[in-house]
Amino acid sequence: TKRVYLLNEGNKDMKMLLGGKGANLCEMAKLALPVPPAFIITTETCLEYFSEGTGNLPKALNYEAELKTLEDDTGKTFGDPKNPLLVSVRSGAPASMPGMMDTVLNLGLNDEIVQGIIDTTGNERFAYDTYRRFLNMYSDVVMDMDKEPFEEVLDRIKARKGVKLDLEMDAEDWKEVVGEFKKLNPNVPTDPREQLRGAVLAVFRSWNNDRAIRYRSYNGIPDEWGTAVSVQAMAYGNMNDGCGTGVAFSRNPSTGENKFFGEFLPNAAGEDVVAGIRTPQPLEEMAEKWPEVYSELFSYQEKLEKYYGDMQDIEFTVENGRLYMLQCRNGKRTAKAAVKIAVDMVKEGTLTETDALLRIPANQMDFFLHPTLDPKAKKTLIGEGLPASPGAATGKIVFTPDDAEAMANVGEDVILVRKETTPEDIHGMKSAQGVLTALGGMTSHAAVVARGMGRCCVSGCTAAEVNFSAKTLTLGDVVLKEHDVITIDGSTGEVYLGAVDRRSATEDVDFQTVLGWADSMRKLKVFTNADTPEQAATARGLGAQGVGLCRSEHMFFEPERISAMRAMIVSESKEERLEHLATLSKFQRKDIEEILTEMDGLPVTIRLLDPPLHEFLPHSEDEMKALADTVGKPLSVVKDRVAQLQEVNPMLGFRGCRLSVVYPEITEMQAKAVAAGAAMCKKAGRNPKAEIMVPVVSTARELRLIVPRIQKAVAEELEEAGVKVEIPIGTMMELPRACQTADDIVATEGVEFMSFGTNDLTQSVWGFSRDDAIKFIGRYSEQGLLDFDPFARVDEKGVGGLIRTALDKARAQQPDTKVGICGEHGGEPDSVQFFHSLDFDYVSCSPFRVPIARIAAGQAAA
């Protein structure tokens, strides 16, 4: 096996073996760019190191010949005091993991060699500066010593001299620093070859440092890859004022503007730019100072960008007026830059629309839909939760929905802070600029509702102590009182003290172009989950082609409606129930007519009442009294009824179609309301396409009971209205049993479509309560039991496997059954890809995720 490669032996396609950095160094050398000579130890050798487990370099690794080539190419000799070669020992994984692993610079120094450098260059300051850098880095990276004592030495000597900058230190000062560093760590090996072995081992080990492991798990990079090690001749940016170092991007990584962009530091080493020791200068100043070097660099970045067909991130060093290229890679960029660069590159003819679309990070496209925090703004982080609903909001904190509403009515911006939210908080959530909850995950009530409203929301901020009676919010040491100002960022889950500047999102022309590409390529339709006409209108504006889920109960959360709902629930007889249902019916008909009007010509799937009834019930004594007054019954009766409806496990309780089984009159009212809404639209000359969906089905027998009742109610209502419209009926697939018996389900007379409710399906397949999983799911990820939150991204093997089974059975029975998905997964790019691969007809997601789903669906088909 070949374990060591010279630059002329590799190329850019060998990232798996040579790491991204190594492969690109080879490619730049091939393009005749000035790269300091180097050799690369393969990732396979790193794996060999781990599997041998001796703590020593693999026995079969030998780089003496390649080291000799480096010496020949540079005319210097490793370890020779008269003309020493110094090297950098650099990590580099197959996928970019910026700054996560270790690198040692200026390796090959000892007391004798430093003297040699002084003798040959006559530059004592440079020699000692380089030596102190080496001692510091070697102690830190290879010998795992604390950095602080080294920093203290520097600070002490600078303070004594009354200087702040490294640049103000002279040769004597650096010599003194070197002396002190050697006292701190007398054990740095003096043999350059031993140093090299130590550094290579340290780079191997850094593959498994905590930072790197976390970064990999977060970015889905396999632990099995290993890192390559590049050993490269040093280029010196720290010799004198004719030297320097910098980082550049072929286009602006923040805005995407097609303008060479970067920073450099004169008389400094590369690590100084990263560490932020000095404020670097814009490249424009380098253009003035060294026009020739600048134009050389400019031509290389142009060449590299063309060659790689993507925006490049470049590291370079200038040694005595000579430019050296140290690294190039596809640059990381913001959502805004990603979109602009993709569109520009298509215009320039560099990329096809398909390739450009595939470059778009669909997940980050929220950026275009919500105001975001100004990245330059000053901010104080006081807490972190889940990024439940994107956007950023600033406001005074309030603890009750009523306070939120009252404050909003007088024009105040508020953030509603709750332990968790319930349906009764809706008006408060609507009034607030944003919502912060201590409990609940990405699919908690607060998160789902907030996303539906386009309200920003941070949920599951478990460190937040919400004291409802004292009206305080405690985050660590910070105690906030009612009306104190905070800012929350629903795109990152962060919570900040006070106000933070925001930037408003705009109708971005480039973003629209990208959406256009996606639409022309995708096969999946993108629907939305919308409960109100406003949400439907928003989603339609964002490109929704229908409503895949209209939760009819959300129409009952308004204050005046909830009291009718409560009255209905506490009814003691069918007559009484019918009376209150009649009130609810009026609202429901009107709502459905409005939503069908908004979605004129597009399908609207209305789901029958789903949640456990007790969710609607009053909780406090006061609320129960009020209800007792409304329905004219003694408080004790109301209390009994509430107690009766309490459930031990409501998610698996009296909900969904079970309500239809027990109270057919509720279903009848709802079916008639749908028919009436559609009839009214039809009469007004519109084209209503209502559909009715039955939730929480576990057996086809439920459907055989309920579907005919729906058909009858619909027929009666349409007959009465004297109108003909089709109202297809379908079923939710959200319980394992329904999936296992999908053939029976689609064989049921009158069942025309099925929609996978992946939130409940995930809950029932994993047996994880979606409202409680937050308490342990974090620990699961930390210990490697979960790669991702299955409520956010579909679990392809488990939940997805069951979906596959259901589809196979259903399609064997009824090949053309219409199939959709309406969980939160409908707006998550990886999941969308999965549903595309299973030939779904549509995905349905929150209004503000519609554009993301459109892009993801386009990418899946591209």
Least separation in angstroms between residue 92's CB and Mg ion is 9
Residue 313, contacted partner among ligand ADP, Mg ion, none, CB below 5-8 A by kind: none
Q: Which of 262, 522, 350 is nearest to 342 (CA)?
A: 350
Least separation in angstroms between residue 246's CB and Mg ion is 12
Interaction between residue 328 and ligand ADP (CB under 6 A)? no
- Which of 822, 825, 836, 845 is labelled catalytic? 822
C-beta closer to Mg ion: residue 390 or 611: 611
Query: How many whole angstroms separate alpha carbon 836 and alpha carbon 824?
Result: 16
Least separation in angstroms between residue 761's CB and Mg ion is 8
Query: How many whole angstroms separate alpha carbon 457 and alpha carbon 493?
Result: 8
Q: For the sheet containing 38-41, what is the strand order? A: 4-6, 38-41, 228-233, 87-92, 103-107
C-beta closer to Mg ion: residue 652 or 705: 652
Interaction between residue 103 and ligand ADP (CB under 6 A)? yes
CA distances, 641 to each of 29, 77, 432 (Å)? 80, 90, 33
Least separation in angstroms between residue 121's CB and ligand ADP is 16
Binder among 105, 536, 569, 819 for ligand ADP (CB under 6 A): 105
Query: How many whole angstroms separate alpha carbon 238 and alpha carbon 264?
Result: 12
Residue 760, contacted partner among Mg ion, ligand ADP, none, CB below 5-8 A by kind: Mg ion
Q: Which residues are documented as binding site for Mg(2+)?
A: 734, 760
Query: How many whole angstroms separate alpha carbon 508 and alpha carbon 516?
Result: 13
Residue at 813: amino acid letter: Q
Interaction between residue 26 and ligand ADP (CB under 6 A)? no
Residue 235, contacted partner among ligand ADP, Mg ion, none, CB below 5-8 A by kind: ligand ADP
Least separation in angstroms between residue 70's CB and ligand ADP is 11
Q: Has 445 been annotated as catalytic?
A: yes
The residue number with the shortest CB distance to ligand ADP is: 270
C-beta closer to ligand ADP: residue 95 or 521: 95
Binding track, positions 717-756, relative to Mg ion; x by CB under 5 A? -----------------x----------------------
Binder among 24, 77, 267, 327 for ligand ADP (CB under 6 A): 327
DSSP state of 280: P
Binder among 27, 344, 598, 760 for Mg ion (CB under 5 A): 760
Region from 97-105, 396-404, 491-499, 725-733 binding ligand ADP, contact rule CB under 6 A = 97-105
Least separation in angstroms between residue 317's CB and ligand ADP is 5
Interaction between residue 315 and ligand ADP (CB under 6 A)? yes
Mode of pairing for the β-strands spanning 818-821 and 312-319: unpaired
CA distances, 336 to each of 205, 506, 512, 615 (Å)? 36, 11, 12, 42
Q: Which residue has the tokens 């490697």?
A: 784
Query: How many whole angstroms separate alpha carbon 290 and alpha carbon 319?
Result: 12
Interaction between residue 90 and ligand ADP (CB under 6 A)? yes
Least separation in angstroms between residue 610's CB and Mg ion is 6
Least separation in angstroms between residue 155's CB and ligand ADP is 23
Region from 157-165, 226-234, 381-389, 713-721 binding ligand ADP, contact rule CB under 6 A = 226-234
Interaction between residue 317 and ligand ADP (CB under 6 A)? yes
Residue 757, contacted partner among ligand ADP, Mg ion, none, CB below 5-8 A by kind: Mg ion
Interaction between residue 88 and ligand ADP (CB under 6 A)? yes
Angle at which helices 850-861 and 829-837 pack, to 10 degrees? 50
What is the separation, in whole angstroms, between the first and last Cα of the chain?
38
Q: Which residue has the tokens 């070097």?
A: 293
Residue 245, contacted partner among ligand ADP, Mg ion, none, CB below 5-8 A by kind: ligand ADP
C-beta closer to Mg ion: residue 593 or 734: 734
Interaction between residue 437 and ligand ADP (CB under 6 A)? no
Q: Which residue has the tokens 């906030």?
A: 480
CA distances, 383 to each of 109, 484, 486, 637 (Å)? 46, 15, 11, 44
C-beta closer to Mg ion: residue 35 or 114: 35
The residue number with the shortest CB distance to Mg ion is: 760
Q: How many residues in the shown chain lie near Mg ion by CB under 5 A?
A: 4
Interaction between residue 757 and Mg ion (CB under 5 A)? yes
Binder among 10, 19, 22, 36 for ligand ADP (CB under 6 A): 36
Phi-psi region of 280 (alpha: psi -120 to 50; beta: other; left: phi over 0): beta
Binder among 13, 99, 322, 640 for ligand ADP (CB under 6 A): 99
Query: How many whole angstroms separate alpha carbon 578 and alpha carbon 668?
Result: 10
As beta bridge partners, residue 325 has 316
Region from 164-172, 229-237, 417-425, 574-582 binding ligand ADP, contact rule CB under 6 A = 229-237
Least separation in angstroms between residue 94's CB and ligand ADP is 13
CA distances, 251 to each of 291, 305, 355, 475 (Å)? 20, 9, 18, 40
Least separation in angstroms between residue 3's CB and ligand ADP is 20
Q: Which residues contact 220 (CB under 8 A, 6 or more apart)?
A: 787
Binder among 135, 169, 235, 666 for ligand ADP (CB under 6 A): 235
CB 729 within 8 A of CB 707: yes
Query: How many whole angstroms separate alpha carbon 43 and alpha carbon 512?
Result: 42
- Which of 445, 580, 614, 836 is labelled catalytic? 445
C-beta closer to Mg ion: residue 128 or 261: 261
Alpha helices in 684-798 (DSSP H): 700-721, 736-740, 742-747, 758-766, 774-782
Query: How many whole angstroms separate alpha carbon 806 and alpha carbon 735?
Result: 11
H/E/C letters for each residue in 754-785? EEECHHHHHHHHHCCCCCCCHHHHHHHHHCCC
Interaction between residue 91 and Mg ion (CB under 5 A)? no
Residue 99, contacted partner among Mg ion, ligand ADP, none, CB below 5-8 A by kind: ligand ADP
Q: Which residue has the tokens 């579909």?
A: 794
Binder among 24, 136, 206, 245 for ligand ADP (CB under 6 A): 245
Query: How many whole angstroms separate alpha carbon 583 and alpha carbon 669?
Result: 10
CB 338 within 8 A of CB 354: no
Q: How many residues in the shown chain lie near ligand ADP by CB under 6 A?
A: 17
Residue 754, contacted partner among Mg ion, ligand ADP, none, CB below 5-8 A by kind: none
Q: Which residues are documented as binding site for substrate?
A: 551, 607, 734, 757-760
Q: For residue 42, how many other CB atoms are within 10 A of its CB?
A: 25
Interaction between residue 326 and ligand ADP (CB under 6 A)? yes
Which parts of this chain interact with ligand ADP (CB under 6 A)? Answer: 36, 88, 90, 99, 103, 105, 232-235, 245, 270-271, 315, 317, 326-327
Residues that bind Mg ion (CB under 5 A): 327, 734, 757, 760
Catalytic residue numbers, as ranges: 445, 822
